[in-house]
Amino acid sequence: MRGVMVGWGFGDELSETAELFVSELVTNAVLHATGSPFCRVTCTRSLNHVHRDRR
């Protein structure tokens, strides 16, 4: 993810912060979810919305 963001010109600091944010979300899902958590990360050049699948 960081490599994609840097390639799009977002810069190292923002890319590293985004990577940490996603890592924390996934860690929390794995630690606290019941059943088998499902995570998908989609990188786009702009954030239009956040989508959460319920399974």
Overall average pLDDT of the 6-32 stretch:
88
Quick one: pLDDT at residue 25?
Answer: 85
What the block records as the tokens of 4 is: 């994609």
Asked if 39 and 24 touch (Cβ cutoff 8 Å), the reply is no
Residue 18 pLDDT more than 80?
yes
Overall average pLDDT of the 13-21 stretch:
90
The label of the residue with tokens 């993810």 reads 1
| Cα angle for residues 19, 4, 24 (degrees, 5° grid) | 10
Residue 45 pLDDT more than 60?
yes
What the block records as the tokens of 25 is: 């979300």
Q: What's the chain's length in residues? A: 55
Residue 3 pLDDT more than 60?
yes
